[in-house]
Amino acid sequence: MACLRMFGPYDLTPDNIERYVRPYAAGVFAVGYTRESGAFVVRYIGRSDSDLRTELRAHSSDETARFKWVESASQMSAFDTQCELYHEFGGPDSLENDEHPARPKGSKWVCPVCDVFDR
């Protein structure tokens, strides 16, 4: 089983987003739920290139959801981490992510795992 080196999990509420996530930070997050055993089950891998709080708020409508997160030193680092976790957790076969993570506008970065952008 893949390991998330992230903070959390926390209930995905506006209060917890404000409490635990620094404003205007780039980074990656996982949304999921916690089993009775305490294991965190990932349902979605997301990223923000500039404001994790805003991106997480867009996912806070599910009252049972929990989240984990980690800041990234750069947009490229956030993109690479999201791609790696997307593949590690099964992509669209296992996650609610319908598509491969998108590159930031104007970048020519490639996925560190697959050749999706070479097609």
pLDDT of residue 3: 63
List the beta bridge partners of residue 46. 29
Is the pTM above the cut of 0.85?
Answer: yes
Query: What is the mean predicted confidence (pLDDT) over 78-101?
Result: 95
Report whether pLDDT(15) > 70: yes
Topology given in CATH for the domain delimited by 7-97: GIY-YIG endonuclease (3.40.1440)
- Residue 119 has a pLDDT of 60
Q: How far apart are CA 94 and CA 51, in angstroms?
A: 26
